[in-house]
Amino acid sequence: MTRDAAIARAEAYFDTGRFRQDLARRVAMPTESQNPERASVLVSYLEDEMKPALEQLGFRCRTLEVGRWPFLFAEREDDPDRPTVFGYGHGDVIRGLDEGWSEGLSPWSLTERGDRWYGRGVVDNKGQHSINIAALTAVLESRGKLGFNAKYLIEMGEEMGSPGLRELCARERDLFRADVLIASDGPRLSASRPTVFLGSRGGVTFDLWIDARKGGHHSGNWGGLLSDPAIQLAHAIASVVGPTGQIRIPEWVPGEIPANVRRVLADCEVESDSDGPAIDPGWGEPGLTPAEKVFGWCSFTVLAYAAGTEDAGERHPAACLGAMPAAFRGRYRLARGAAGSAPPPRPPWFRHRADRPVARRGLPCHPARPGSSLGPMDGRLDRGDNGKEAGHPAQSRRLAAERHLLGNP
């Protein structure tokens, strides 16, 4: 009955407070991968926390590097005839944002409140890999072997988009060879039912921007004359995604969800926790169930959106000044469903420049100045300045106004 014994050990690990102790120590390490000042903490998490924990279980550990990013690789051989299970986790967390936590809570201190534990990384991903390492421990203590060969990789840059992970996997192809990969990261469907994903949703993040001109200009004097980059980019977004979140670019979505994927998803219910958001039934691809939308399809998200003028790197919203915004920036994310066709790594206008798909979809082809992610601009809206539109009525009116202002009619 080694299975029962292993489960009893795992329960005891939790009940005696040892799991909480281990997790609290790991949470207390501010492993913010987005903060360059934490580089030494990232190394220390691997050297001082992960290595001892895995070495105690008979793993051989080594640190691999790609650029400035450290990766811990651990390996334990049980029986060469048995399959190899590859485990994955990440020890980094997003920024702590200490000021944003409720009274009495801190990102770097595991705190119990009600039936919950608070602290950065508890649910992503220190909790998960701590549980997995504890599970290996419980099995080893119960029967002296795992029954499979184990490999484990812990990266420290996942929250930065896993820099170097792809290169590392290509470089260490033989070292990482395994029969199954178990990556305990990402969402679960329900707290009461274990979730196993057989694929992972990928994402492509990109910025779109138009820097139309320097400074803000009063809409009373310039409205209708100066292009508005915020409006132009709003149209760009509207060409990508409809008013209810449906992606409008056929190449960015799968042609259909395969029948076997539909069958598996039929049994999955997407729940949100008591404090989670309510699902908007009318959002996304019409005709799909919530599980199909999130696991079998692609989605497009605007992560940030700002318009205004920029002084010394500081952005001022233009609207409150009644001024024409000078610049617009947005950050977008395209998520790819498990059954999704591979979306292009970049949106079409990056590949085809501004003249083709953008023009076809009624997007601005001619933002005022060259500073735009939409492609090369010819400056045509910058009336008369480049001589192209000399003779335009606005040009002669402007020249007249200038002469008048200069007292030189």
Q: What are phi and psi of 113, to 5 degrees?
A: -145, 120
CA angle 240, 242, 243 (to 5 degrees): 140
**Nearer of residues 132 and 142 to Zn ion, judged by Cβ:** 132
Q: In 3D, which of 256, 247, 234 has the Cα closest to residue 299?
A: 247
Peptide bond into 386 cis (omega under 30): no
Least distance to Zn ion from the beta carbon of 200, Å? 11
Judged by CB under 5 A, the stretch of 52-60, 107-115, 124-132, 359-367 that binds Zn ion is 124-132
Task: Name which of 125 and 137 has its Cβ closer to Zn ion.
Answer: 125
Considering the complex, what minimum distance in angstroms separates the CB of residue 92 from Zn ion?
A: 9
- Name which position in 31, 125, 149, 162 contacts Zn ion (CB under 5 A): 125
Of the chain, the end-to-end C-alpha distance in Å amounts to 101
| Closest approach of Zn ion to the CB of residue 332, in Å | 21
Q: Closer CB to Zn ion, residue 124 or residue 172?
A: 124
| Count of residues touching Zn ion (by CB under 5 A) | 3
Q: Where are the beta strands (DSSP E) in 1-78?
A: 60-66, 69-76
Q: Does the footprint of Zn ion cover residue 22 (CB under 5 A)?
A: no
Amino acid, res. 250: P
Contact residues for 172 (Cβ-Cβ < 8 A; gap 6+): 64, 73
Among residues 59 and 88, whose Cβ is nearest to Zn ion? 88
Tokens of 344: 């292009």
Count CB-CB contacts under 10 A for residue 133: 23
Cβ 192 to Zn ion shortest distance, Å:
22
CB of 128 to Zn ion, least distance (A): 8
Q: For residue 105, what are the contacts with CB-CB under 8 A and spacing of at least 6?
A: 111, 113, 118
Nearest residue (CB) to Zn ion, 183 versus 306? 183
Nearer to Zn ion by C-beta: 108 or 209? 108
Q: What is the longest distance spanned by two Cα atoms in the chain?
A: 101
By beta-carbon proximity to Zn ion, the closer residue of 97 and 390 is 97
Distances (CA, A) of 217 to 35, 205, 222: 37, 31, 6
The distance of closest approach from Cβ of residue 79 to Zn ion in the complex, given in angstroms and rounded to an integer, is 31
Q: Which stretch binds Zn ion (CB under 5 A): 123-131, 148-156, 236-244, 245-253?
A: 123-131
Bridge-partner residues for 152, per DSSP? 74, 87
CA angle 295, 296, 297 (to 5 degrees): 105
Q: Which stretch binds Zn ion (CB under 5 A): 117-125, 129-137, 275-283, 369-377?
A: 117-125
Stretch of residues binding Zn ion (CB under 5 A), selected from 59-67, 120-128, 129-137, 357-365? 120-128
Applying CB under 5 A, the span of 182-190, 200-208, 272-280, 382-390 interacting with Zn ion comes to 182-190
* Binds Zn ion (CB under 5 A): choice among 48, 77, 78, 124: 124
Tokens 């539109």 sit on residue: 389
Residue from 77, 141, 185, 389 touching Zn ion (CB under 5 A): that is 185
The nearer residue to Zn ion, 124 or 141, going by C-beta atoms, is 124
Q: Which is nearer to Zn ion, 125 or 149 (CB)?
A: 125
What is the helix (H) or strand (E) element at residue 317, kind and residue range?
Answer: strand 314-317
Q: Which residues contact 409 (CB under 8 A, 6 or more apart)?
A: 403
Q: Which residues contact Zn ion by CB under 5 A? A: 124-125, 185
